[in-house]
Structure 1
């Protein structure tokens, strides 16, 4: 069995591949795979012509981030100890993959790891996705060192450490291949967004730890597939967040969280109407409607710990939105 496969998911990303694959091929030590979600552009032809050494898995349809990775990784199950899941819009740095795998091999009780993720457009700033390590507040809202809600911090070297976190970013994350498959990978019903946080939550409930390693840096463009400010992204984030919390929380815990989230997010929907952004209000309402319609088919996650103890949430913030919006705390060290 080989140590690691670097696996990139692609959907109509020819321009992203042209821009970012050179750094991956230059700086990587392990096999590089591309899973293609039935792209309709010239991505596949480009890969076959310009990068014949990259191993290509062509899927029959667009299964999103979650289903695309699940389907693609099923083809190589049992061949590698670790997968590095890498967005197609990420620039990597020298030695990045070897350092991450060395860290994982020396920490066998960890199931996932992410590096420091900085902005590709402005490399002195953290990226929105994962930044300096991801946490969850008591209501399931994610935040990061380096990114609190929509406020992005400058990288001043204060997150160059190695720490335990609640989740690793799907923009660039190492996963233990055996654990990934034992937990059935990502939830394909999510399609895209929040799936890596859900997977990490299930890992922690199963007794596995999640880490951040700040000595390794990568640079993420972000928004290459779906713009951060789009109603579709808001819909997926809210719908999938509700599903994630329902799956992983106790029933009383979910009820408490749902009441608070529902109040906040319906107030947000009303605010969008007042601002003339009816498409965002519709996204919120559609997310709640669709979650409620599918709630009965969502299975509660029942971990098999094999004697391991559940790893509790590391985030200490009760409600990150309150801290950010009302108390004006815009950086992690203010929380």
Structure 2
């Protein structure tokens, strides 16, 4: 069995590959694979012509982030100890992969790890998706060291440590291959957004820890799939957040969280109507409607403990929205 494979998911990302693959090839020391979600642009032709050393897995359709990785990694099962899941819009740095693998080897109780994620456009600023380590508040809302809601911090070297977190960002994360497959991978019903948070939550429920290390830095463009302010992304985030909480919390905790989230998010829907932004209001209502339709299908991805003790959540904030919106706490050190 080989130690690790870098696996990049691609869908019509020819321009991303042109921009970011050079750094991957320059700074990586392990096998690199591209899993293609049936692209219709020139991605495959570009890879064949310019990067024949990169191995390809071509899928029959666009299965999204979750399903695409599940389909692709199923073909690699049993061949690698670790997978590094890397977005196609990430620039890596010297020694990044070997340092991540070494960290995982020296911390066998961890199932996943992310590096420090910085913005590709503003290189002294944290990236929205993961930043300096991801956490969940008491209601399942994600936040990061370096990013609270939409407030993103500059990198001042504060998060150069290595710590235990609640979730690792799918923009760049190392996972134990065996654990990924034991837990049936990502929930393909998510399609995209928050599937890595759900997977990490299931890993912790199964007795594994999740890590962050600031000893490795990568630069993420972000927004290559969906803009953060799009109605489609709002729909996916709300629907998938409800699904994630439903699978991983007890029944009574879920219904309390559902009550609070429903109140906040339907108030937000009304505010969008009043501002004339009905597409966002429809996205929120549609997310709740579709969650209700699909609840039964979520049982397949509820983790089995198999005798291992659940690893408790690391986040300490009761409601991140209250701290950010009402109390004005815009940075992690203010929480």
Give the TM bin, normalised by the shorter chain.
over 0.9
- For residue 53 of structure 1, what is the aligned residue in structure 2? 53
**1:255 pairs with 2:255:** yes
SS at 1:299 equivalent? helix
Q: 1:245 to 1:300 in 2, by over 3 A?
A: farther
* Contact 1:85–1:174 (8 Å) recurs in 2: yes
- For residue 325 of structure 1, what is the aligned residue in structure 2? 325
- For residue 23 of structure 2, what is the aligned residue in structure 1? 23
Could you state the TM-score of these two structures normalised by the residue count of structure 1?
Answer: 0.99
Aligned-partner Cα distance in 2 for 1:185–1:79: 16
Aligned-partner Cα distance in 2 for 1:302–1:278: 34
SS at 2:299 equivalent? coil
* Contact 2:134–2:166 (8 Å) recurs in 1: yes
SS at 1:214 equivalent? strand
- For residue 245 of structure 2, what is the aligned residue in structure 1? 245
Aligned-partner Cα distance in 1 for 2:300–2:8: 30
- For residue 291 of structure 1, what is the aligned residue in structure 2? 291
For structure 1, which runs of at least 5 residues remain unmatched after alignment?
none
- For residue 229 of structure 1, what is the aligned residue in structure 2? 229
- For residue 67 of structure 1, what is the aligned residue in structure 2? 67
* Contact 1:151–1:330 (8 Å) recurs in 2: yes
- For residue 205 of structure 1, what is the aligned residue in structure 2? 205
* Contact 1:248–1:301 (8 Å) recurs in 2: no
Report how far residue 297 of structure 1 moved: 3.0
SS at 1:6 equivalent? strand
Report how far residue 304 of structure 1 moved: 3.5
Report how far residue 300 of structure 1 moved: 7.0
Report how far residue 296 of structure 1 moved: 3.0
Aligned-partner Cα distance in 2 for 1:107–1:38: 37
Report how far residue 293 of structure 1 moved: 1.4
Report how far residue 302 of structure 1 moved: 4.8
- For residue 126 of structure 2, what is the aligned residue in structure 1? 126
Q: Summarize the alignment of residues 141-152 of structure 1 with structure 2, pairs less than 5 Å apart.
A: 141-152=141-152
Report how far residue 306 of structure 1 moved: 4.0
Aligned-partner Cα distance in 2 for 1:127–1:234: 19
Residue by residue, what CA displacement relative to the aligned partner does 1:277-322 show, whole Å, maximum 9, x if unpaired?
1111110000001111112332175543343210010000000010
Q: What is the total number of aligned residue pairs between the two structures?
A: 335
Q: Aligned Cα RMSD in Å?
A: 0.9
* Contact 2:184–2:301 (8 Å) recurs in 1: no
Aligned-partner Cα distance in 1 for 2:6–2:215: 19
- For residue 97 of structure 2, what is the aligned residue in structure 1? 97
Report how far residue 155 of structure 1 moved: 0.1
SS at 1:164 equivalent? strand
- For residue 271 of structure 2, what is the aligned residue in structure 1? 271
- For residue 162 of structure 2, what is the aligned residue in structure 1? 162
For structure 2, which runs of at least 5 residues remain unmatched after alignment?
none
Could you state the TM-score of these two structures normalised by the residue count of structure 2?
Answer: 0.99
- For residue 82 of structure 2, what is the aligned residue in structure 1? 82
Residue by residue, what CA displacement relative to the aligned partner does 1:179-220 show, whole Å, maximum 9, x if unpaired?
000000000010000100000000000000000000100000
* Contact 1:246–1:300 (8 Å) recurs in 2: no
Aligned-partner Cα distance in 2 for 1:187–1:319: 25
Aligned-partner Cα distance in 1 for 2:304–2:272: 43
Aligned-partner Cα distance in 2 for 1:225–1:276: 25
Report how far residue 225 of structure 1 moved: 1.2
Aligned-partner Cα distance in 2 for 1:273–1:174: 41
Q: 1:149 to 1:56 in 2, by over 3 A?
A: same
**1:194 pairs with 2:194:** yes
